[in-house]
Structure 1
Amino acid sequence: MKSERPSARLLDLSRLLSRAGRVLTGVDRVERAYLDALITSNVPAFGLIRTPLGFLLLDESGMQKLAAKIDGDISWGPASRLAKIFSKLPPELQRALTDARKLAVARCTRRGLGRMLKRHLPDRTAYFNTGHSNLTDYVTMGVKALRGGKIVVFVHDTIPLDLPHFQRDGSVERFKLFLGRVSAKADLVIYNSRATQTATELQLAKIGRVPQGMVAHLGVDMAEPDKTALPKGLPFEEPYFLCVGTIEPRKNHLLLIDVWEQMEKQVPPQDMPQLLICGQRGWKNDECFFRLENSRLKGRFIHELSGLSDGAISALLDEAAGIVFPSLAEGYGLPVLEAAARGVPVICTELPVYKELLGDIPVYASVNDSYLWVRRVLSLAESRRTGQRPKKEAFTPPTWDAHFNLVLSET
């Protein structure tokens, strides 16, 4: 695609708007980073949002104002009577949809998307889909109706196909449809790692066509620590470890509960490290939730924290004895990369993406060896207690500047 510079770029913002009022996930943060990059480039940018009634089109001014509302710099306005018709939508999303309609330069029904894009966008527009959502036939046909229109898709992982038994109802079939459209319609696929590219292209080959692909590592945002955003009463008097991310089955929090309960039987209370589980509760994880609720360590050595800001997480990382991440699969694993960038010791499973990006910096431990996890955690806790944090190879994280220098030179 590098040979023909696009006349405009169209970013799908449907997923980002749907997260109104909630803490952004890793995938959401990528879409947010693309919003900033596209409106500050020297190619005209537009935003596309799918709504219950059809589609909205935003220009750069509207995208900037939407970004300020998503970031919380400006509050969402009141929900309109039209938005309230969709009573099953959360109130915050009703307000967000109302504001998005006000910011739009054009709107249309689903069937009218092609006509709307032709009226407002030039030929050779490149459409970016970064959220694994809204890559529908209406969208692909609408973009391709523009002469020279290109479709650029970001694939974050193939976890729905790799671990289907851990997924929400319907998500595996939706992901299969998504990959089918990627195979059939994408002009370029962006991957966050070589590991993701390898896994995805194996799946695409089973479907049919494998589009051109490129790897562009995601930037690691280093939020400013904000201790004032931390909940009161956290046990900072003892070494503590963080596990950051949605509490879902593939994150394997059950192993950490096992490890902490084993440790509690082996060491005196004054030597027990704390475990701070930072994340929202997810899906299909009833056993883990039951264990968290009923563990004898709840509130003593295991603490569940949700809704923490980036600044609060950064503040916790700076003082942590380590981050523990026994995940069974990751597309990128941003919390681990941020911890490594801050010099925080990492204990994690030996996933291909970590070997690719971090090499030998983490302490790798098998999910089948809880004894090794116990030993590594206690060793790092003692190092923190004595003020002797282990020296690790310096890690310089990937940057968004490097990511977009590569991506936008090709699209």
Structure 2
Amino acid sequence: MSNQLQLALLRLAIILGSQRLLAVARNLVLGHRSKAATFERIAQNPQRQLLVDVSVIASHDAGTGIQRAVRSLLVRLIAAPPDGFEVRPVRATRRRTYEYADAYLCSLRGVKPLVADQCIRVTEGDIFLGLDLAGRIIPRRQSDLLKWRGQGVRLCFVVYDLLPLTSAKWFTTVAQKSFRLWLQTLSVHADAVFCISRTVAEETRTWLDDKLGTAAHNLAVRWFHLGADLHTHASPLQMRLPAGLSVSSQNSLRQTVMMVGTLEPRKGHTLVLDAFDILWANGCSATLVIIGKMGWHVENLVERLRTHQQWGKHLIWQSGATDDELSEMYLSVDGLIVASEAEGFGLPLIEAASFGLPILARDIPVFREVAEQHATYFAARSGAELAPEINEWLARLATRQAPSSEAMQRLTWSESAEQLKHLLADLA
């Protein structure tokens, strides 16, 4: 069967998304691997390539949680490559084939690129790692994937969450469709998927069973955890806040708690603000600091923040922060509130744990996986339900009786990259 005909059949199967067609397409792709690839031939080429997809972040780094993970893991993989591999960042667009992302690599190193990005040359034993969430690109680059597979390249992808499928109400119709096509493309082409938590891995296995059928689901699903490298030696924050306001409880009787993350509906900012409105109306003097960029579908929340009667007093929103500034905030506040209704991991949890900061978290499976017993959990669904729980937590903070996150198991980004390298070694 010609490559063009194969591609046409693959695209049809992925677009339609039926269990039988996807299973047939996966079997077709699996049979496309080079029959000449052997351990002996790969051993003769000890310096293989780890092609790391950075298509989205190389075009625009929005500083989201996923892009922070992509950048952090890429830097560590380059600094300490898997044994026998050279790490090469690569990029593509929906219309342009994959190229080496040398210009982006130069930007990471702070040097001016000397040559333009070049087309990729692969050999047997190379690995393509879909580290970036290139949801709208991968389905358009199936010709590259099929060609590489025929040349003996193994394909693996990082899955950060399944939220556009499991929690569609928070995403546009276009985003839902793009994500579904991306995941169905993975189900056909990937040798393995690496999820960022055990929770996401379980959800992914369930989805693959449903889409491919248990018998045809031979795709390896593994998981690892993300890391954090915020500095614990920073000095207390005294900048970029309203004049005269100190967020350090050491210099004030009132407490300060913080939320970290992009403003979007699932993050729970509205719920927490509803609760604090009740607390402030009843004389609570605690300060709520929100750190995060404006996301989507939060125009009403942003207007509410900016016109709030506590704005600049007990309510602060800082739309962006460097790692050093974020470290200073973690050192300065009394506790962290993580109210997301759904997550793939929850980076603020381990960031807070780096400073031993008490955490109040929504009771969802992935937060239990990450924080275990080292956090206080809530299940409130309204501000009226949450207000007394926050009030009790604040009281426990004041008497140092709230659980500390200091003993939480957590990784640095280098340790997270090591876990990822072990998964890649198993695949290689």
In which range does the TM-score fall when normalised by the shorter chain? 0.7 to 0.9
**Length-normalised TM-score, structure 1:** 0.79
Amino acid at match of 1:390: A
**Cα 1:19–1:62, aligned 2, differ >3 Å: closer, same or farther?**
closer
Q: For 1:86-125, what per-residue CA distance to the aligned partner results, in whole angstroms no more than 9, with x for missing partners?
A: xxxxxxxxxxxxx5xx55451xxxxxxxxx43xx222221
Identify which of 228, 243, 253 aligns with 2:269. 253
**Cα 1:243–1:141, aligned 2, differ >3 Å: closer, same or farther?**
same
- 1:357: how far off? 1.9
**Alpha-carbon distance in 2 for matches of 1:8, 1:229:** 46
Q: How does 1:147-162 map to 2 (within 5 A)?
A: 147-162=151-166
**Cα 1:313–1:296, aligned 2, differ >3 Å: closer, same or farther?**
same
- 1:190: how far off? 0.2
**Alpha-carbon distance in 2 for matches of 1:52, 1:103:** 23
Identify which of 11, 18, 23 aligns with 2:59. 18
Contact between 1:275 and 1:301, CA under 8 Å: does it hold in 2? yes
**Cα 1:189–1:56, aligned 2, differ >3 Å: closer, same or farther?**
closer
**Cα 1:389–1:321, aligned 2, differ >3 Å: closer, same or farther?**
farther
**Alpha-carbon distance in 2 for matches of 1:28, 1:153:** 15
Identify which of 378, 386, 390 aligns with 2:402. 390
Contact between 1:129 and 1:154, CA under 8 Å: does it hold in 2? yes
Identify which of 138, 143, 147 aligns with 1:138. 143
- 1:249: how far off? 0.5
**Alpha-carbon distance in 2 for matches of 1:232, 1:27:** 27
The residue that corresponds to 1:67 in the other structure is 108
Please list every run of 5 or more consecutive structure 2 residues that lacks an aligned counterpart in the other structure.
Answer: 1-38
Amino acid at match of 2:313: R
The residue that corresponds to 1:86 in the other structure is none
**Cα 1:226–1:49, aligned 2, differ >3 Å: closer, same or farther?**
farther
The residue that corresponds to 1:273 in the other structure is 286
Identify which of 346, 365, 371 aligns with 1:333. 346
Contact between 2:361 and 2:378, CA under 8 Å: does it hold in 1? yes
Contact between 1:229 and 1:312, CA under 8 Å: does it hold in 2? no
Identify which of 295, 298, 310 aligns with 2:308. 295
**Cα 1:252–1:391, aligned 2, differ >3 Å: closer, same or farther?**
closer
Amino acid at match of 1:140: L
**Alpha-carbon distance in 1 for matches of 2:368, 2:94:** 42
**Alpha-carbon distance in 1 for matches of 2:315, 2:173:** 30
- 1:30: how far off? 2.2
**Cα 1:103–1:53, aligned 2, differ >3 Å: closer, same or farther?**
farther
Identify which of 215, 226, 229 aligns with 1:218. 226
**Alpha-carbon distance in 1 for matches of 2:200, 2:174:** 22
Q: How does 1:298-377 map to 2 (within 5 A)?
A: 298-368=311-381, 370-371=383-384, 373-377=386-390
Q: Secondary structure at the match of 1:398?
A: coil
Please list every run of 5 or more consecutive structure 1 residues that lacks an aligned counterpart in the other structure.
Answer: 78-98, 107-115
- 1:385: how far off? 5.2
**Cα 1:180–1:230, aligned 2, differ >3 Å: closer, same or farther?**
farther
**Cα 1:318–1:379, aligned 2, differ >3 Å: closer, same or farther?**
farther
**Cα 1:121–1:34, aligned 2, differ >3 Å: closer, same or farther?**
farther
- 1:255: how far off? 0.5
**Alpha-carbon distance in 2 for matches of 1:360, 1:244:** 21
Contact between 1:255 and 1:367, CA under 8 Å: does it hold in 2? no
**Alpha-carbon distance in 2 for matches of 1:250, 1:103:** 43
Q: Is 1:241 the counterpart of 2:241 in the alignment? A: no
**Alpha-carbon distance in 1 for matches of 2:423, 2:107:** 23
- 1:264: how far off? 1.2
Q: Secondary structure at the match of 2:108?
A: helix
**Alpha-carbon distance in 1 for matches of 2:94, 2:206:** 34
**Alpha-carbon distance in 2 for matches of 1:410, 1:230:** 47
**Cα 1:104–1:12, aligned 2, differ >3 Å: closer, same or farther?**
farther
Contact between 2:98 and 2:144, CA under 8 Å: does it hold in 1? no
% identity of equivalent residues: 22
Q: For 1:338-381, what per-residue CA distance to the aligned partner results, in whole angstroms no more than 9, with x for missing partners?
A: 11332111111111111112212111111325455323433444
Identify which of 240, 260, 267 aligns with 1:231. 240
**Cα 1:344–1:389, aligned 2, differ >3 Å: closer, same or farther?**
farther
- Give the aligned CA root-mean-square deviation in angstroms: 2.7
Q: Secondary structure at the match of 2:297?
A: coil
Q: How does 1:36-75 map to 2 (within 5 A)?
A: 36-39=75-78, 40-41=80-81, 42=83, 43-51=85-93, 54-55=96-97, 57-58=99-100, 64-69=105-110
Q: Is 1:200 the counterpart of 2:212 in the alignment? A: no
**Alpha-carbon distance in 1 for matches of 2:238, 2:333:** 16
**Alpha-carbon distance in 2 for matches of 1:303, 1:203:** 40
Contact between 2:236 and 2:331, CA under 8 Å: does it hold in 1? no
Contact between 1:219 and 1:403, CA under 8 Å: does it hold in 2? no
**Alpha-carbon distance in 2 for matches of 1:355, 1:181:** 31
**Alpha-carbon distance in 1 for matches of 2:143, 2:261:** 33
What number of residue pairs does the alignment pair up? 361
